[in-house]
Each structure stands twice: as structure tokens, then as C-alpha cells.
Amino acid sequence: MLWTFAFKYAAWIFNRVLHSEEQKTPYEIMTGRKPSFHLLQVFGAKSYIHNHLHHKDMNVRAMIGYHLGITPESKAWSFWIPGHNRVVRSASVKFDENNFFPGPSKPGAILSTIQVTNLTDNLMVKEINQQDAVITSLNTSHDMINTTPTSYKDALNSNESDSWREAILKEIESMKDEKVFKAVSLLQVLKTTKRENILSTRWVFVKKPTPLRFKARLVARGF
């Protein structure tokens, strides 16, 4: 289970650093903005999370957890709390980047049930069914991270976001070369009187095996 957090955090970092001769990071290419690293912390670092759920209990002001990555939608971090066997999200935390969770004495350790809790607003987000904490099967990890996205957002948030991003850019360049479409801003759409020539679009993603290929197609929405 916890491997998925490691994959997502690695992808988050990968998309925000330069690669080969590119002068812009993948994040900047897709968003037009330079990436920010103010939330960056060492993965697996020991952390002291302010316990909003028990703020009236003076003896339980903080919980000890281990950093699992960033939750961009709430500008917070995710943490595994071994003592409670759950994952929590919080923005009120102190990191100890010199200490980490000790490795398991035996490989293949299992976490029976992990609860995900948002400590910022005290809401239980969801409960995750039984998963392996240490993934020893390559087939299992392949099934977990290699799903075909159904939307642009899913593609960029997936563990294969780099491959999908490459497919998206390839499709855009192809359409530009063929001169079959022109991207317009929402403001431009609202101002124009020739709306009959403007179509909204959506992305369709396909993964082809043997050899593995990632395909992205930009299509007009049906009306």
C-alpha cells in the first residue's frame, strides 16, 4: 500500500526538475508556471503531527508519523501513523529529517486496514481495504500503477503521468502541424459572437501492449 505514495511522490518531484536538454520542467511546460518547492520534504522522515482530533487532551498534542508525500489539493502532507495503523493528512506538522521509520524485520509485512484521515478539518476521508505494505510481486505493483486514465486530470495525476504527458504533447504537436484546431481561452470564447465555430474538447487515452505504447487523442465533445 505505502509503495503507491512513494511512486506518486517520485512523479511529483520528477515533473518539477529539468531533464536532458529541456529548458523547462514538465510542470512548467504543461501549466506555464514555474514549480514551487516550499512543500518539499524528505520522504519517510519522522514527523510530529499536531493532533486536531484530540485538542482537548493535553497529553496527546502530537502524533508521531512518517512523511508519505504532498496533497496538492489541500497544500498539506500525508503521513503514516504506525501506532494507529492509518494515514492522515495535515498541514500542521514538524519534520525530523534525520530520523526515519525502521525497516521491517521480515519482508512482506502486511497492514490489515489503513484509515485515511484529514486532520485539517477533522473529517474521515475513507478507509482503504487490506493491502500489502511491502509489495513483493511485480505483477501486483504493475496492476496498481498501470491503469488507463479516463480524463486529462487522471492522466496527469497517475503514476505514469510522464508517459501520458508525452503522448498529450505529441497529439497537440500533430494537430498543430495539420492545422486542424486552434486553442482559445475561455475569455475569448465569452467575448466572441461566432460561437458556432468553437467546440469544447476532451481527451481519450489508450494504452497498447507489446510493445507498450501510450496514445492520447483530443476529440470534440458530443452534443
**How is the chain split into domains, by residue range?**
2-144, 147-220
Does the pLDDT at position 81 exceed 80?
A: yes
**What's the pLDDT at 166?**
92
Q: What is the CA radius of gyration of the chain?
A: 21
Q: Give this prediction's pTM.
A: 0.44
Kindly indicate the confidence band of residue 192, based on its pLDDT and cuts at 50, 70 and 90: low
Q: Is the CB of residue 206 less than 8 Å from the CB of residue 148?
A: yes
Q: Are strands 110-111 and 131-132 parallel, antiparallel or unpaired?
A: antiparallel
Rounded Cα distance between 87 and 109, Å, is 17
Does the pLDDT at position 182 exceed 80?
A: no
Sign of the dihedral through C-alpha 16, 209, 7, 70: positive
CB atoms under 10 Å from CB of 27, counted, come to 19
Q: Quick check: helix, strand or coil at residue 190? A: helix
Rounded Cα distance between 203 and 223, Å, is 16
Dihedral angle at the C-alpha atoms of 14, 149, 73, 61, nearest 10 degrees? -90
Q: Is the CB of residue 200 less than 8 Å from the CB of residue 220?
A: yes
Q: Is the CB of residue 142 less than 8 Å from the CB of residue 3?
A: no
Average pLDDT of the residues in 55-80: 76
What confidence tens digit (pLDDT) does each residue in 194-203 have? 555 566 778 8
Q: Which set of grid coordinates corresponds to residue 13?
A: 518531484
What confidence tens digit (pLDDT) does each residue in 104-119 have? 555 554 444 455 555 5
Average pLDDT of the residues in 165-189: 79
Q: Is the CB of residue 8 less than 8 Å from the CB of residue 78?
A: no
Does the pLDDT at position 31 exceed 80?
A: yes
Q: Which set of grid coordinates corresponds to residue 24?
A: 523547462
What confidence tens digit (pLDDT) does each residue in 141-164 have? 344 445 788 888 888 888 888 999
In the chain, what percentage of residues exceed pLDDT 90? 4
